[in-house]
Structure 1
Amino acid sequence: MKTVFALAAIVIASSAGVRALPQQPEARAAVDDATILNYALTLEHLENAFYAGALAKFDEKAFAAAGLPPWARGRFVQVGKHEQQHVEFLSAALGDKATKPCEYKFPYTDPKSFAALSQVLEGVGVSAYAGAAQFITNKDYLTAAASVLSTEARHASWVAAAVNRVAGWSGAFDVPLGLNEVYTLAASFITSCPSSNPALPVKAFPALALQPAAPKPGQRTTLKFDVSGVDKSTKLYAAFYTGLDKKFAEIQNNQVTVPAGLEGNVYAVVSKSSGPALTDEDVVAGPAILQFNFDSQGRALS
């Protein structure tokens, strides 16, 4: 779906230089259960604001004029209520330690671009919860997080398949993203946050953009990112996160060939390593969001 591709490109392009959330890279706070709950609450605040703002702006007539199904807005209202309940649940668990909502800016212009961006955000939410699960020690919190994760996955699947008419899954596994990778994506929507919010142990990576923004597997694409802090002798690779795996391609003259066999939601970063144990220290830029749609026979769609 071209709208999804275009919005994914906007998300990454607009993240350059963003440092909206509190962060302390020199002396990071410990990643304990309260930190992870506030990390999750930060994302839920964002999603809650996203749905509340768009649904207040676009009525049923606007959805119909955009060519969306007549039941779509009502379902989005239900999704928005879920996100509001997630905010209330996490806020109650954290009490006076709970982070407060920030100010946001979302690049939708009509119900159709809102639906496309919903698919992107829900996919990032799924990857965020999957990646953060390893840090939770309290089993009750872990169970609650799993419950939220499965609901976010239902949202992502519904908006992809029923509204945007693409596959509701990427394969047998979703991509778990690290805290900094999710923060990089979320920060592109945040313009400012209350100074009293607890600092999160995260940092944003430099932005990564692809040209064309929606390449196909096997296609040559140009990568745009800041190389000022990288030694010219360092080999760089594009790492494509797909499910629980990573596919690597060496970057030459800022260009790379997209690996074959990629399906669904894929995240790309520029890395100094081509090994599966890639760490945050290896990441030079990204992630960028890519979507490789396929039909019911598993064939790639243009």
Structure 2
Amino acid sequence: MRSTPFPLFLASLCVASPLPKVERRQLVNDVGILNYALTLEHLESAFYRGALETYNAKAFEEAGFSDDVRARFVEIAQHEAAHVTVLTTAVEALGGSAVEPCQYNFPHTDPKSFAVLSQVLEGVGTSAYTGAANLISNGLYLTAATSILATEARHASWVASAVNKLTPWGSLGAFEVPLIPAAVYTLAAPFIKLGSCPSTNLPLPLKAFPPLIYTSDLVPGHTATVEQNPATSSATHISFFTGLDKIFVPITDGQILVPEGLSGAVYAVATKSGEEATGDTIVAGPVILLFEKDSKGHLIN
């Protein structure tokens, strides 16, 4: 499995919290859903703006990147800023109050670690829009959201393949993983500095799930150990999200058998059900697992 420090970082910083309810009851209307998307776009926009202010063209060159890589990241930053503008306008057009940006902390230290984190964030963003599309009732805003989704997917593919020299597709390739809003918020929350959001922001009715921590490498077809803690004490299964599928694996004495055939970005959660992974059954996670393969289908170690 090709992994990065960032999935572990995300898992370790997630704060334990009560289980959220079903997202359709939480994000009760299009204003709530669009503000949820705007929260993510503010984060992404700040991520690119801050990194590009930190790393100049010489830094990218010294990191081994070709001349065009930083220029493309500048374009992506412009895209994310445009997404912020469009979503802000949409929320206000519906009579809502658009959320403002918070302060953020991104754990990159050089252009290479920035590029790895970019791949992770773009993948999460793509899964976020995929998972929330069915919650939008207004056809005009659904079209806008799916247009943003397509652009986020292009970002993710370009960063993964052209920059990081990894698989350009998401999980399984043919289908993107849809993530419920609470799962996305769990992955995004560690980047938001506590208490930094403007007091005028209406709080999103979402809370992060507790962390899911594994204490051994996850390799398809091999046994792995899941840390036992109060958050996972009620968990009976680990569910792997791959494409549109969810693969449920029973937890036996703190161990699981990692499914064969996992590919690309896979999300794992601990559940108290062997059939459903929803806001009512997830007890910990998600964590992001990157099972990178070469063009012949062989895992990259």
Q: TM-score, length-normalised on structure 2?
A: 0.91
Distance change in 2, residues 1:24/1:197 (3 Å): farther
Query: Match for residue 225 of structure 2?
Result: 222
Query: Match for residue 190 of structure 2?
Result: 188
Kindly report which structure 2 residues correspond to 1:259-278, keeping only aligned pairs within 5 A, or say none.
259-275=259-275, 277-278=276-277
> Are residue 153 (structure 1) and residue 153 (structure 2) matched?
yes
Query: Match for residue 178 of structure 1?
Result: 180
> Are residue 294 (structure 1) and residue 293 (structure 2) matched?
yes
Q: 1:218: how far off?
A: 1.5
> Are residue 94 (structure 1) and residue 97 (structure 2) matched?
no
Query: Match for residue 282 of structure 1?
Result: 281
Aligned positions, number? 291
Q: Which amino acid aligns with 1:172?
A: A
SS at match of 2:267: strand
Deviates more, 1:242-251 or 1:291-300: 291-300
SS at match of 2:167: coil
User: Take 1:182 and 1:225, find their aligned partners in 2: how far apart are those partners?
Assistant: 23
Distance change in 2, residues 1:200/1:223 (3 Å): same
> Are residue 76 (structure 1) and residue 73 (structure 2) matched?
yes
Q: 1:51: how far off?
A: 0.3
Q: Which amino acid aligns with 1:123?
A: G
> Are residue 206 (structure 1) and residue 210 (structure 2) matched?
yes
CA deviations on 1:206-231 (whole Å, 9 max, x unpaired) are 0112233x52212222223632574x
CA deviations on 1:22-72 (whole Å, 9 max, x unpaired) are x999xx755211111000000000000000011100011111111122211
Distance change in 2, residues 1:228/1:164 (3 Å): closer
SS at match of 2:79: helix
Query: Match for residue 110 of structure 2?
Result: 110
> Are residue 138 (structure 1) and residue 141 (structure 2) matched?
no
User: Take 1:260 and 1:219, find their aligned partners in 2: how far apart are those partners?
Assistant: 8
User: Take 1:30 and 1:16, find their aligned partners in 2: how far apart are those partners?
Assistant: 21
RMSD: 2.1
Q: 1:251: how far off?
A: 1.2
Query: Match for residue 43 of structure 1?
Result: 40
User: Take 2:294 and 2:109, find their aligned partners in 1: how far apart are those partners?
Assistant: 28
Contact preservation (8 Å) 2:210, 2:231? no
User: Take 2:66 and 2:215, find their aligned partners in 1: how far apart are those partners?
Assistant: 32
User: Take 2:260 and 2:150, find their aligned partners in 1: how far apart are those partners?
Assistant: 29
Q: Which amino acid aligns with 1:223?
A: V
Q: Which amino acid aligns with 2:39?
A: T
Q: 1:187: how far off?
A: 0.4
SS at match of 2:286: strand
User: Take 2:21 and 2:235, find their aligned partners in 1: how far apart are those partners?
Assistant: 29
Q: 1:256: how far off?
A: 1.5
Distance change in 2, residues 1:241/1:104 (3 Å): same
Kindly report which structure 2 residues correspond to 1:164-175, keeping only aligned pairs within 5 A, or say none.
164-170=164-170, 171-175=173-177
Distance change in 2, residues 1:30/1:86 (3 Å): closer
SS at match of 1:289: strand
User: Take 1:229 and 1:301, find their aligned partners in 2: how far apart are those partners?
Assistant: 30
Distance change in 2, residues 1:101/1:159 (3 Å): same
Q: Which amino acid aligns with 2:30?
A: D
Contact preservation (8 Å) 2:26, 2:206? no
Q: TM-score, length-normalised on structure 1?
A: 0.91
User: Take 2:130 and 2:77, find their aligned partners in 1: how far apart are those partners?
Assistant: 21
Q: 1:286: how far off?
A: 0.1
| Unaligned residue ranges in structure 1 (runs of 5+) | none
Query: Match for residue 122 of structure 1?
Result: 122
Deviates more, 1:54-63 or 1:66-75: 66-75
| Unaligned residue ranges in structure 2 (runs of 5+) | none
Distance change in 2, residues 1:202/1:135 (3 Å): same
Q: 1:93: how far off?
A: 1.6
Contact preservation (8 Å) 2:21, 2:280? no
Query: Match for residue 242 of structure 1?
Result: 242
Contact preservation (8 Å) 1:24, 1:201? no
User: Take 2:54 and 2:192, find their aligned partners in 1: how far apart are those partners?
Assistant: 19
Contact preservation (8 Å) 2:239, 2:249? yes
Deviates more, 1:54-63 or 1:65-74: 65-74
